[in-house]
Amino acid sequence: MIDLHTHTTFSDGALIPAELARRAASAGYRAVAMTDHADPSNMVFILGNLRRFVKEAGSFLGIDVYAGVEITHAPPQLIPAMIAEAREAGAEIVVVHGETIVEPVAPGTNLAAIEGGADVLAHPGLITPEDAALAAEKNVLLEITTRKGHSLTNGHVAAMARLHGAGLVIDNDAHAPADLVSRDLRTKIARGAGLSSEEICRAETNASRLLERILRGK
């Protein structure tokens, strides 16, 4: 299992990076991206600290850890430039907090994330057919999430991805230990979104291939 979307105490997560890594490894994950909530006020701070953690502790953790951010509630007009800035600041994975139906995310956030070339569009809510098609074209992965609330539109996201050829990933959006779900529950949530066994396998492969691209770029 790979989780491309987690949070530490650098934003609203309950765990410091070392404990998050340890708990993820213990839960059976082979790789995790730490992607704390970021806007222009804290993005460089988050990445500097996560990169230092990965550099100093990464080889001892028993799990592959990647430093990233989740650009969250930023004005859509700023998102493409923020994605570029995050990469310049050393982000290995850039997630954008999509238009979930349970938060007042600004309209146009999904489109800005896709146009800006995010790696993952998290919980994109009632994503439009046009945005799903553009995500397929731009190779931006759409998230099926295990997180309560955000998961309410998983079925719609799965259907749009299937119809328009967009890639999917399955993430926890983990903020606390209990959010690091087991393989069994992860599979059941994906099946509940309408994914077939083949589509679940493909989503896991998408996450693995993203990490392979990152490693080739280092």
Three-class secondary structure of residue 145 per DSSP: strand
Position 218 scores a pLDDT of 65
pTM (2 decimals)? 0.97
Position 57 scores a pLDDT of 97
- The tally of domains found in the chain comes to 1
Q: DSSP for 62-89, please give it.
A: SSEEEEEEEE-S--GGGHHHHHHHHHHT
Position 73 scores a pLDDT of 98
Quote the tokens at residue 215: 């490693």
**Torsion of the alpha carbons at 110, 9, 31 and 152, rounded to the nearest 10:** -40
Position 217 scores a pLDDT of 83
Report the CATH number at residue 175: 3.20.20.140
> Which residues of the chain register pLDDT less than 70?
218
| Structural domain of 45 | 2-217
Distance in angstroms (rounded) separating the CA atoms of residues 152 and 126: 10
Q: In what order do the strands lie in the sheet with 120-122?
A: 2-6, 31-38, 64-71, 93-97, 120-122, 141-145, 168-171
